[in-house]
């Protein structure tokens, strides 16, 4: 079967590219081995956000008396939490299946194998196209230490189908995935300990925000072991798991009923015979240029598999860039400004440069800050913990934005858009914002400095 494009993988990088290409009149073959929607829909972004919402509602109900409401005793039904998550995932998966039934798109279910650079086999069938987009995503990483095969050790996928809340949860890894689950299950009732190798959690985020988030989570009862290297996991005397680590030169351990391995994800390159067709790759991912081209003409790689940015929305726009390159079109997509969010309580969001990156690049910058405790809407919401931090150059052009607090993931996009357009903090300050809203925190940061 011949087409214009073959796309291997139906996650955000794959199916969004397919839909856009079909709308432009191209014939597209999409090959998916497991589930449409990829990790994001089935095991990542969407399921965890469902759990985050359950945790948020639970917190609100527990605090009902503060708002003059009598809610009585509150009990969590984890099986219903999982059922609701499954319903949301099923509904979105059905929507993607509908999109992939559009004219011009052929969905093939099965494992892809390259015959040559432009021919892909699935089972006994072969498919050929001038352009091939590899969008196979990523897989969970495991530390190379003894004890990871302990049945008490699970990945983020396992956390999403638990039948009961663990009394004690140890999270190995203080990145986005680890902290989201730590926040969720602390609200669900677990005693949570986070063990992080780096000196601070969220090592890729602005240090001010990371530190303040850690302190906020610590205030909620989550224990942290930072600068701690996990050395082994062994079975405890009561059937629990004991996590051993070296913390600042001293040995330590923590006992848990469940251990979440959340030390990041690696590019899913082993599922394809890339070496057979000469596509260059490293353990980090498939090597691509800024147009998502590999070293083999007509072969592209987008999303987690190229190791550039492991975010679903980044994968989508990388797919658009690859499609534009195939069509000989230029675009204005800016991959230097990709918003990122952490759905803890409180939330974190970031876009652009961190203060540390500005210092490393010898960029002269000014810091602007405002605080949730001075915002009327935040006080009305009883969400006064947090701040906005903006970085601007000597001419006032916005370089970076970092937010800790309620709805940070929504607020960040105003700053991201301003950065993309080359705007200044002065322009932000002069834009009228509705009152009372959390969005006022952005111009307030400029007015208070």
Q: Using an 8 Å Cβ cutoff, are 25 and 54 in contact?
A: no
Q: Which of 318, 334, 292, 336 is nearest to 17 (CA)?
A: 318
| Residue 348 contacts residue 408 (beta carbons within 8 Å) | yes
- Gap between the Cα atoms of 390 and 402, Å rounded: 6
Q: Can the peptide bond before residue 346 be classed as cis, meaning omega within 30 degrees of 0? A: yes
Angle of helix 176-188 relative to helix 45-62, nearest 10 degrees, comes to 40
Angstrom distance (rounded) from CA 442 to CA 449 = 12
**CA-CA distances (angstroms) from residue 324 to 11, 104, 152, 292, 328?**
19, 18, 46, 10, 6
Torsions phi, psi for 387 (to 5 deg): -155, 165
Going by C-beta distance under 8 Å and a sequence separation of 6 or more, which residues neighbour residue 296? 117, 277, 278, 279
The helix or strand, by DSSP H or E, that contains position 97, with its residue range, turns out to be: helix 78-99
Q: Residue 217: which of 339, 342, 341, 340 has the closest Cα?
A: 342
In the block, residue with structure tokens 């979105």: 92
Alpha-carbon distance 266 to 301, whole Å? 15
Whose CA is closest to 395, among 420, 443, 356, 363? 363
Q: Any idea which residues carry the catalytic annotation?
A: 435
CA nearest 171: which of 158, 189, 154? Answer: 154
Nearest to 262 by CA among 146, 191, 179: 179
Q: Kindly give the pairing relationship between strand 191-196 and strand 223-226.
A: parallel
Give every strand in the sheet of 241-247, ordered side by side. 228-235, 241-247, 250-256
């Amino acid at each position: 079967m011949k087409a214009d494009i073959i796309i291997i993988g139906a996650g955000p990088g794959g199916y969004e590219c397919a839909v856009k290409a079909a709308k432009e009149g191209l014939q597209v073959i999409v090959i998916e081995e497991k589930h449409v929607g990829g990790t994001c829909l089935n095991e990542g972004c969407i399921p965890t956000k469902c759990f985050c919402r359950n945790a948020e509602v639970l917190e609100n109900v527990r605090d009902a008396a503060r708002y003059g409401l009598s809610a009585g005793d509150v009990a969590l039904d984890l099986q219903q939490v999982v059922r609701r998550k499954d319903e949301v995932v099923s509904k979105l998966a059905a929507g993607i299946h509908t999109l992939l039934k559009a004219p011009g798109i052929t969905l093939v279910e099965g494992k892809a194998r390259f015959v040559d650079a432009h021919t892909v086999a699935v089972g006994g069938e072969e498919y050929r196209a001038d352009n091939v987009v590899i969008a196979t995503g990523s897989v969970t990483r495991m530390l190379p230490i003894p004890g990871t095969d302990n049945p008490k050790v699970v990945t983020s996928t396992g956390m999403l189908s638990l039948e009961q809340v663990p009394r004690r949860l140890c999270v190995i890894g203080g990145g986005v995935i680890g902290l989201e689950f730590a926040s969720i299950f602390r609200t669900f009732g677990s005693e949570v300990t986070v063990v992080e190798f780096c000196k601070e959690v969220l090592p890729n985020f602005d240090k001010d925000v990371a530190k303040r988030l850690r302190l906020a989570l610590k205030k909620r009862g989550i224990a942290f072991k930072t600068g701690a290297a996990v050395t082994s996991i062994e079975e405890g005397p009561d059937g629990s798991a004991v996590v051993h680590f070296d913390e600042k030169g001293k040995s330590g351990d923590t006992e848990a009923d469940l251990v979440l391995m959340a030390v990041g994800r690696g590019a899913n390159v082993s599922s394809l015979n890339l070496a057979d067709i000469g596509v260059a790759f490293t353990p980090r991912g498939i090597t691509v240029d800024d147009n998502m081209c590999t070293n083999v003409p007509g072969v592209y790689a987008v999303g987690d598999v190229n190791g550039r940015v492991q975010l679903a929305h980044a994968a989508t726009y990388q797919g658009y860039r690859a499609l534009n390159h195939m069509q000989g079109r230029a675009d204005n997509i800016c991959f230097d400004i990709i918003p990122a969010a952490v759905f803890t309580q409180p939330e974190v969001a970031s876009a652009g440069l961190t203060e540390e990156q500005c210092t490393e690049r010898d960029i002269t910058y000014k810091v602007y800050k405002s605080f949730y405790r001075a915002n009327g809407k935040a006080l009305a919401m009883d969400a006064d913990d947090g701040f906005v931090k903006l970085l601007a150059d000597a001419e006032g052009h916005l370089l970076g934005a970092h937010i800790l607090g309620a709805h940070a993931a929504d607020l960040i996009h105003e700053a991201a858009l301003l950065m993309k357009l080359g705007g200044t903090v002065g322009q932000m300050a002069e834009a009228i914002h509705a009152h009372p809203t959390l969005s006022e925190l952005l111009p307030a940061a400029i007015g208070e400095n």
